[in-house]
Amino acid sequence: MTHTRLFILLICLVVLPATPSLGAVPMPTEGNISINSDSMSQDTANEVFTATGHVTIRWQGMTLTADKATYDRKTRVLNATDNVLVVKGDETLRGNSIKLDMDTGRGELEKGTLNSTTSNVTFVGEKITRINDNEVELTTTELTTCDLPDPSWKFGADHLKVNLLGYAIGRGVTFYIKDVPVLYLPWMAFPVVRERKTGLLFPRMGYSSNRGAQLDIPLYLVISPSQDLVLDLDFETKRGVGTGVDYRYIWNRGSEGRFGGYLIYDLLKDRWRGQMNLNHKEIFSPTMNVRADINLDSDRSFQGDFGEKSGDYNRQSNDTVVNALKTWQNYALSGYLRFAEDLYAADNSHTLQTLPEVSLAGVRQQIPSIPVYFDLDSSVANLYREVDPTGQRLTAFPRLTYVTGLPGYLNASAYAGLHVRGYTTQDSPGGTTKENDGDLLPELGARAATSVSRVYDIGGTSLKKLRHEITPEISYTYAPNHDQSRLPFYDYNDRLVGQNIISASVTSFLGGKFQTGDTTTYRDISLIRLTQGYSAGGTRRDLLTMVDANRPWTDLTLQSETWLHPQAKFTIDARYNLYDKRFSSTAPGVELDDKQGNSAALSYRMARNQVEYLEGKLATKFFTPWTLGYTTRYSFDRPGFLESVYSVEYRQKCWSVNVSIGDRPGSHFSFHFGFNLEGLMASK
Please provide the DSSP assignment of 496-549 as one string. Answer: PPPEEEEEEEEEEEEEEEEEETTEEEEEEEEEEEEEEEEETTS----SS-S--T
How do 33-36 and 227-236 pair as beta strands?
A: unpaired
- In this prediction, residue 537 carries a pLDDT of 67
Q: Which has more confidence, 504 or 91?
A: 504
User: 431: pLDDT confidence band, cut at 50, 70 and 90?
Assistant: low
In this prediction, residue 442 has a pLDDT band, given cuts at 50, 70 and 90, of: very high
At a CB cut-off of 8 Å and minimum separation 6, what does 105 contact? 60, 130, 132, 133
Helix (H, G, I), strand (E, B) or coil at 7: helix
The confidence band for 611, taking pLDDT boundaries of 50, 70 and 90, is confident
Say whether the peptide bond before residue 203 is cis (omega within 30 degrees of 0).
Answer: no
- Return d(Cα 387, Cα 425) in angstroms, integer: 13
Cis peptide before 480 (omega within 30 of 0): no
Question: What are the two backbone dihedrals, phi and then psi, of residue 542, each rounded to the nearest 5 degrees?
Answer: -110, 170
Is residue 8 pLDDT above 70, yes or no? no
Contact (Cβ atoms closer than 8 angstroms) between residue 612 and residue 571? no
DSSP structure string for 456-502: EE---SSEEEEEEEEEEEEEEEEE-----TTS--SSGGGSPPPEEEE
Report the run of H or E that residue 66 belongs to, with start and end: strand 62-72
Q: Cβ-count burial of 505 within 10 angstroms (0-12 exposed, 13-18 middle, 19+ buried)? A: middle
Q: Are 510 and 525 in contact (CB under 8 A)?
A: yes
Going by pLDDT thresholds of 50, 70 and 90, the confidence category of residue 20 is very low
* Mean pLDDT for all residues in the chain: 86
First-residue to last-residue Cα distance in the chain: 76
596-634: b (≥16 Cβ within 10 Å) or e: eebbbbebbbbbbeeebbbbebebbbeeeeebebebbbb
Q: Where are the alpha helices (DSSP H) in 563-614?
A: none
Give the residue among 623, 606, 624 at the shortest CA–CA distance from 615: 606
Encoded amino acid at 567, one letter: Q
Looking at per-residue confidence, does 538 or 145 come out higher? 145
Residue 262 near residue 242, CB atoms below 8 Å: yes
Q: Confirm or reject CATH 2.60.450.10 for domain 34-196, answering yes or no.
A: yes
Domain locations in the chain as residue ranges: 34-196, 451-587, 594-683
Instruction: Evaluate whether 654 touches 153 at the Cβ level (below 8 Å).
Output: yes
- By mean pLDDT, which of 19-23, 104-108, 268-272 is the weakest? 19-23
CA distances from 479 to 416, 490, 550, 617, 665 (A): 10, 21, 17, 45, 47
Q: Decide if 544 contacts 608 (C-beta within 8 A).
A: yes
What pLDDT was estimated at residue 12?
36
pLDDT band, very low/low/confident/very high, at 669 (cuts 50, 70, 90): confident
Burial class (CB in 10 A: 0-12, 13-18, 19+), 383: buried
> Is 80 exceeded by the pLDDT of residue 550?
no
For residue 311, pLDDT over 80 is answered with no
The secondary structure of residue 331, as a DSSP letter, is E
Over range 250-277, report the average pLDDT: 92
Q: What is the DSSP letter of 683?
A: P
Among 44, 35, 91, residue whose Cα is nearest residue 68: 35
Distance CA 675, CA 454 (A): 57
Taking Cα atoms as reference points, which of 574, 575, 586, 572 lies closest to residue 636? 586
* Range from 44-48, 393-397, 600-604, 667-671 carrying the lowest mean pLDDT: 667-671
- pLDDT at position 263 over 70: yes
Question: Is the entire prediction scored with pTM above 0.75?
Answer: no
> Measuring CA to CA, which residue among 610, 565, 608, 569 is closest to residue 589?
569
pLDDT at 19 over 50: no
Q: Give the residue among 565, 572, 566, 567 at the shortest CA–CA distance from 528.
A: 572
Highest mean predicted confidence (pLDDT) among 200-214, 299-313, 470-484: 470-484
**Beta-strand relationship, 463-479 and 436-449:** antiparallel
Average pLDDT of span 81-106: 88
Sequence-separated (6 or more) residues with CB below 8 Å from residue 41: 18, 19, 20, 21, 49, 50
Q: What mean pLDDT is predicted for residues 386-394?
A: 89
What are the residues facing 630 on neighbouring strands? Answer: 618, 646
When pLDDT is averaged across residues 56-84 and rounded to a whole number, the result is: 90
Answer whether residue 196 shows pLDDT above 50: yes
459: CB partners within 8 A, 6+ apart: none
- Whether 24 has a pLDDT exceeding 60, the answer reads no
332 or 57, greater pLDDT: 332
Q: What is the pLDDT of residue 5?
A: 39
Q: How many CB atoms lie within 10 A of CB 346?
A: 8
